[in-house]
Structure 1
């Protein structure tokens, strides 16, 4: 199974809110119709995001960013597998997060081989409260089985926080899996701090912007923690080895598409200045 259904962890209950299918604070009622629209409200400075896109575009022409391979570690304890992934992406955190949660899942289409690696089959909004939106989704993930991509259906409850740039998920139904849930978060990396911030190492975005004169690029650190427990007999060797390998290969394929998308963004022609007015209000 791949990463990116939306990610949340029952292991870290002290720092994460548990997933629930309903909320007294909900603003939206469970919808009967599919909703593939991206939420209208934004929770960041749109002009600053455009500034970052311009900085990345200009830097890419002179010194292309090196897309590092993901760091993947899988451990097994008490019947549960824990897959931890860290990936550095040459895009601003808000931009990367918006790509990852795009209801259209356009990020996960392999353009070279013309196939979807992951797509939403259905998506229903359960509730929305400020930057949080909870949805019930059915996804199809193309799993890498000995080099052949086989679609696997996953039914999930996904909880996204567009302000904190964090997502959680929990399965309703996933093939082979008795338990399947996790989380991901996107954090800033001040990639130009040594070059532009001589006197003081910045600790916040505001400090970084000030010491770099607004010329410092902000990259993203994507951290994923996925937990799963296969049904019997897939929890026993050799089937468990096969499932573990399939999960890693599928995750690598999805992450490679994230990096390919980041290259496309960095090398794209910048949007004309007159079209980048902040037509959305920051909340």
Structure 2
């Protein structure tokens, strides 16, 4: 049994057609939610249908209205990456190849490679890793606007190591989307839990699956910025196509007979610098160590989530 068993349905609903029979419990009233003693954040994530959600274009309008009325955002057939810029049916098919019963060829994603450089007070991380999961869905994992449970559960209240609190689209220009994001990072120091608010501006491109981000406000940090790029990884090219030369998606689909899985190769850069008062040894050493370790833990959470997705539907 995997760590995330029980949450697989959250991501699986992004790779299936919506189930018409699943509507749904009535929306609790604000008074009822207050009676349950839920805080503002918990109430918000129950029913949050703000941008930047992109609906499955094949959803029937009546079903869409029913979803909006009676469902919460995690169960809706929504996407963080605009379906205008990719073949949604093909992504669904690819997700099925990775997690379906016909997945008889195990795929191993090694832990992320993280190279650290320090110069003039700045800490620069160059990160590379692979995930056996379609690129568009990996991009959603990196932004995680719907706050799906990709990261390790932190406590008994089912809060994650990294929670998304709010997302607001500032600008939409074709495939480019600039988003303001507020997150909460949870960590334990000497056994004591702490919650660090993170306020970011993310500049994404939904066509080439790239993004740049920088802090708008972040505790303890003078500089916090970076970028990522998600590229297709033709996982079965050597086995099915007998070729190591560079090919494109159409060529790969043809030579593999449509059976070739497309995973993701992710390259990231992360630059950070503690604020001036904390950027002196040994405090700066401690903050750098904690930051690097936390980033590695988050990436490991994503890797284990994908591994668990593979195991959940693998043949005995």
Q: Provide TM-score, normalisation by structure 2.
A: 0.68
Q: Distance in 1 between matches of 2:184 and 2:102?
A: 34
The answer as to 2:222 corresponding to 1:178 is yes
201-210 vs 180-189, which moves further: 201-210
State the number of aligned residues. 238
Q: Provide TM-score, normalisation by structure 1.
A: 0.75
Q: Distance in 1 between matches of 2:153 and 2:116?
A: 29
Whether the aligned pair in 1 keeps the contact of 2:115 and 2:125 (CA below 8 Å) is yes
Q: CA offset at residue 233 of structure 1?
A: 3.3
Match of 1:261 in 2: 305
Q: Distance in 1 between matches of 2:271 and 2:101?
A: 37
Provide the aligned C-alpha RMSD in A. Answer: 2.5
Point out where structure 2 has 5 or more consecutive residues left out of the alignment: 1-47, 56-81
Match of 1:212 in 2: 256
Identify which of 135, 145, 149 aligns with 2:189.
145
Identify which of 24, 35, 42 aligns with 2:50.
35
Whether the aligned pair in 2 keeps the contact of 1:108 and 1:119 (CA below 8 Å) is no
Q: Distance in 1 between matches of 2:292 and 2:180?
A: 25
Match of 2:247 in 1: 203
Q: Distance in 1 between matches of 2:215 and 2:49?
A: 19
The superposition leaves residues 144-165 of structure 1 with CA deviations (integer Å, 9 ceiling, x where unpaired) of 5356542111122111211111
Q: CA offset at residue 268 of structure 1?
A: 5.0
Identify which of 59, 66, 84 aligns with 2:126.
84
The superposition leaves residues 172-211 of structure 1 with CA deviations (integer Å, 9 ceiling, x where unpaired) of 1111111111101111111211111125734211221122
Tell me which protein shows more helix as a share of its residues. 2
Q: Distance in 2 between matches of 1:78 and 1:268?
A: 47
Q: Which has the higher contact order (CA 8 A, sep 6+)?
A: 1
Point out where structure 1 has 5 or more consecutive residues left out of the alignment: 1-32, 271-283
Q: Distance in 2 between matches of 1:200 and 1:138?
A: 42
Within 5 Å, which residues of 2 pair with 1:7-156? 35=50, 37-40=52-55, 41-42=82-83, 43-58=85-100, 61-111=103-153, 113=155, 114-146=158-190, 148-156=192-200
Q: Distance in 2 between matches of 1:247 and 1:256?
A: 14
Q: CA offset at residue 48 of structure 1?
A: 1.2
Whether the aligned pair in 2 keeps the contact of 1:142 and 1:250 (CA below 8 Å) is no
The answer as to 2:277 corresponding to 1:233 is yes
